[in-house]
């Protein structure tokens, strides 16, 4: 059903399920609606929306879950859309629009002002077809008609699993094509659960006589996956990072060091051994204050690039304001096919979504790293990459998380020493691989690594897609 106030759309099939077959059949003037018998509550509306980079075909649309509507972008590969793998990308937050990834980091164009974009030569669609999805509902151009919300990662995963199934089933050239789920920041919690949900639902697809999704890997960039590893690391990245000068004074570092075991103990007892809403919230507040209060006013996304702080990301990264201005442009919204209910001023972040996830303890209420272990156990590959100068989801916390993962091939990974990886004859960072898991740093990059180091980030992605070690 089209949302209230929306013009009528072309509907491909109202009867028994038949795949649409080819992206060429999509119109540019109106949406085509796709359905799937396994997911009766879901429709996908999609149209051609050639923008951003005239060298590849682009599509936009909505994932309609009754009265909830999630906006997405899809770009074909520059190299070979008929053969190249598929990447799903989400930013984090929770509540951050994936247009940050699209227009600032790894998409086929970058915004230059409120009206224009320029081609981005180091886009990850060089060798892959790629989705950018504004999720959960309420983020970016996604909206709900009657105030419906999604406030946990597991709820959000159901929507993404249904969407991927509908897409792969309708556009038959993608059937069996390798799918890689990628995300950044809170994507470190999203992506393992999204992947596990798709993996588990493949059984349902097989039972229905449909083609399972060829889920091949997960790719997590600067992820905050496990806060039990991340909170203590805030001491390290301020006071004893072997790759970066100490930020705080000796006296402050000594005081913070004394608080690390107290933070660890309180978090373990209240958020891991048992999940108590009041006690876990108190433990998190203690850890946040003890480990990060001295970092207030600094750039949480990059220790090497001082600015006025993280309260307003546009102070540190003016391109974010340019993206907001561009996507607030009525002509651009018309071109993209944004529903009338979602038009108006665009915001890169939605605080209410973040608050809802926090209130449901989604940040701390489940061990996302266990999902990575379970996926590795089932033969899936996992890439954990980190911009080396990030603060908020830093390399030290991520390396500790990877070394603590438990699966049957864990010793293959732990037994490998860190080694340098190279791009164009220059050291790009350090890496460790084994048992299907790869951990890598990107030197000179912060939280948004593909923005800071586009050449190295693309090389990393292309090697990963090709199945090569760094």
Q: What are the tens digits of pLDDT across the range 166-184?
A: 999 899 889 999 999 999 9
pLDDT digit string (tens) for 126-148?
Answer: 999 999 999 999 999 999 999 89
Q: Which of 134, 302, 447, 452 is catalytic?
A: 447
Q: Is residue 213 part of a domain?
A: yes
Q: What is the mean pLDDT of residues 365-377?
A: 97
Residue 311 has a pLDDT of 52
- Domain membership of residue 375 (yes or no) is yes
Q: Are 413 and 357 in contact (CB under 8 A)?
A: no
User: In which domain, by residue range, is 161 found?
Assistant: 76-228+364-465
pTM of the model: 0.94
Q: Which of 185, 217, 233, 457 is catalytic?
A: 185
- pLDDT category at 310 given cuts 50, 70, 90 is low
Q: Residue 220 phi/psi, 5° resolution?
A: -115, 120
> What pLDDT does residue 312 have?
66
Residue 354 lies in a domain: no
Query: How far is the C-alpha of 396 from the C-alpha of 275, rounded, in Å?
Result: 25
**390, two tokens:** 């990030």
Is 312 annotated in the active site? no
pLDDT at 2: 42
Minimal CA–CA distance to 101: which of 93, 111, 89, 112? 89
- Residue 431 clears pLDDT 80, i.e. is over it: yes
Q: How far apart are CA 344 and CA 347, in angstroms?
A: 10
On whether both 224 and 86 belong to a single domain, the answer is: yes
The domain boundary, picked from 282, 297, 312, lies at 297
Q: What is the mean pLDDT of residues 6-10?
A: 36
What number is the average pLDDT over the span 329-336?
94
| Summary mean pLDDT of the chain | 92
- C-alpha 430/C-alpha 421 separation (Å) is 6
- CB within 8 A of 410, min separation 6: which ones? 435
Q: What total number of domains does the chain contain?
A: 2
> Exposed e or buried b for every residue in 108-139, given b needs 16+ CB within 10 A?
bbbbeeeeebeebebbbbbbbbbbbbbbbbbb
One of 84, 134, 226, 390 is an active-site residue; which one?
Answer: 390
370 within some domain = yes
pLDDT band at 4 (very low <50, low <70, confident <90, very high): very low
Residues 92 and 224 placed together within one structural domain of the fold:
yes
Whether the pLDDT of residue 10 is over 50: the answer is no
Percent of residues, the chain, with pLDDT higher than 70:
95
What's residue 13's pLDDT?
Answer: 41
Contact 208, 38 (CB under 8 A): yes
86 and 177 fall within a common domain: yes
C-alpha span between 167 and 173 (Å, rounded): 11
258 in the same domain as 221? no
- What's the mean pLDDT in 281-307? 92
Q: What is the pLDDT of residue 207?
A: 87
- The pLDDT assigned to 5 comes to 36
Q: Are residues 121 and 205 in the same domain?
A: yes
pLDDT digits (tens, 9 = 90+) for 193-248: 999 999 999 998 888 888 899 999 999 999 999 999 999 999 999 999 999 999 99
Q: Which of 3-12, 61-70, 171-180 has the lowest mean pLDDT?
A: 3-12
* pLDDT of 330 over the 70 cut: yes
Q: How many whole angstroms from its chain centre is CA 416?
A: 27
**Is 447 designated active site?**
yes
List the structure tokens of 196. 């596990």
pLDDT > 90 in the chain, percent = 81
The answer to which of 94-108, 127-141, 296-310, 391-405 has the lowest mean pLDDT is 296-310
Catalytic: 185?
A: yes
Could you tell me if residue 151 is inside a domain?
A: yes
- Residue 15 to residue 28: CA distance in whole angstroms: 24
Residues 280 and 163 grouped into a single domain: no
The enclosing domain of 183 has a CATH number of 3.40.50.1820
Domain shared by 201 and 112, yes or no: yes
Look at residues 265, 282, 297 and tell me which one is the last residue of a structural domain: 297
Domain shared by 184 and 156, yes or no: yes
**Assigned domain for 356 exists:** no
Q: Are residues 257 and 213 both part of a single domain?
A: no
For CA atoms 338, 344, 347, 352, the dihedral sign is: negative
Same domain, 194 and 87: yes
The per-residue pLDDT for 308 is 65
CA angle 150, 349, 331 (to 5 degrees): 105
Asked if the structure places residue 374 within a domain, the reply is yes
265 and 170 in a single domain? The answer is: no
Q: Does some domain include residue 305?
A: no
**Statement: residue 11 has pLDDT above 60:** no
Do 221 and 253 fall within a single domain? no
Question: 307-311, 368-372, 397-401: which has the minimum mean pLDDT?
Answer: 307-311
Q: Looking at 275, 297, 319, which one is the last position of a domain?
A: 297
Output the 3-class SS for the chain.
CCCCCCCCCEECCCCCCCCCCCHHHCCCCCCEEECCCCCCCEEEEEEECCCCCCCCCEEEEEEEECCEEEEEEEECCCCCCCCCEEEEEECCCCCECCHHHHHHHHCCEEECCCCCEEECCCCHHHCEEEEEECCCCCCCCCEECCCCCCCCHHHHHHHHHHHHHHHHHHCHHHCCCEEEEEEECCHHHHHHHHHHHHHHHHHHHHHCCCCCCEEEEEEEECCCCCHHHHHHHHHHHHHCCCCCCCCCCHHHHHHHHHHHHHHHHHHHHHHHCCCCHHHHHHHHHHHHHHHHHHHCCCCCCCCCCCCCCCCCHHHHCCHHHHHHHHHHCHHHHHHHCCCHHHCCCCCCECHHHHHHHHHCCCCCCCCHHHHHHHHHHCCCEEEEEEECCCCCCCHHHHHHHHHHCCCCCHHHHHCCCCEEEEECCEEEEEEEEECCEEEEEECCCCCCHHHHCHHHHHHHHHHHHCCCCC
Q: What is the pLDDT of residue 465?
A: 97
């Amino acid at each position: 059903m089209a949302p209230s106030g929306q013009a009528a759309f072309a509907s491909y099939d109202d009867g028994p399920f038949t795949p649409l077959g080819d992206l060429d059949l999509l119109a540019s003037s109106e949406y085509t609606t796709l359905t799937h018998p396994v997911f009766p509550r879901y429709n996908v509306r999609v149209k051609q929306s050639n923008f951003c980079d005239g060298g590849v075909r682009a599509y936009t649309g909505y994932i309609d879950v009754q009265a909830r509507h999630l906006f997405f972008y899809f770009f074909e590969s520059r190299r070979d859309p008929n053969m190249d793998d598929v990447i799903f990308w989400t930013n984090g937050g929770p509540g951050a629009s994936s247009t940050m990834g699209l227009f600032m980091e790894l998409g086929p164009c970058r915004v230059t002002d409120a009206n224009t974009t320029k081609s981005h030569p180091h886009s990850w669609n060089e060798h892959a077809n790629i989705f950018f999805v504004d999720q959960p509902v309420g983020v970016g151009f996604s909206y709900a008609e009657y105030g419906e919300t999604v406030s946990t990662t597991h709820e959000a995963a159901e929507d993404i699993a249904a969407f991927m199934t509908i897409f792969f089933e309708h556009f038959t050239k993608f059937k069996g094509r390798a799918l890689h789920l990628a995300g950044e920041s809170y994507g470190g919690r999203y992506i393992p659960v999204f992947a596990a949900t798709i993996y588990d639902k493949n059984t349902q697809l097989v039972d229905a006589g449909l083609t399972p999704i060829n889920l091949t890997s997960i790719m997590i960039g600067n992820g905050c996956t496990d806060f039990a590893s991340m909170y203590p690391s805030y001491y390290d990245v301020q006071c004893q990072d072997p790759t970066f000068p100490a930020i705080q004074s000796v006296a402050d570092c000594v005081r913070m060091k004394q608080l690390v075991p107290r933070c660890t103990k309180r978090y373990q007892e209240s958020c891991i051994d048992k999940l108590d809403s009041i006690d876990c919230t108190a433990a998190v507040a203690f850890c946040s204050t003890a480990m990060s209060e001295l970092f207030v006013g600094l750039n949480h996304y990059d220790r090497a690039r001082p600015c006025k702080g993280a309260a307003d990301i546009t102070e540190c990264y003016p391109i974010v304001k340019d993206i907001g201005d561009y996507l607030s442009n009525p002509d651009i919204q018309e071109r993209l096919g944004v529903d009338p209910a979602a038009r108006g001023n665009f915001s890169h972040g939605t605080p209410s979504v973040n608050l809802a996830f926090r209130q449901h303890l989604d940040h701390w209420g489940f061990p996302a790293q266990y999902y990575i272990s379970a996926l590795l156990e089932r033969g899936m590959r996992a890439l954990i990459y980190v911009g080396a100068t990030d603060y908020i989801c830093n390399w030290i916390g991520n390396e500790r998380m990877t070394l603590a993962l438990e699966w049957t091939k864990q010793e293959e990974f732990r037994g490998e020493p860190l080694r340098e990886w190279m791009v164009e004859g220059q050291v790009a960072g350090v890496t460790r691989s084994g048992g299907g898991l790869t951990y890598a740093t990107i030197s000179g990059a912060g939280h948004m690594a593909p923005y800071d180091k586009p050449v190295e980030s693309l090389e990393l992605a292309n090697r990963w897609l090709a199945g090569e070690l760094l």
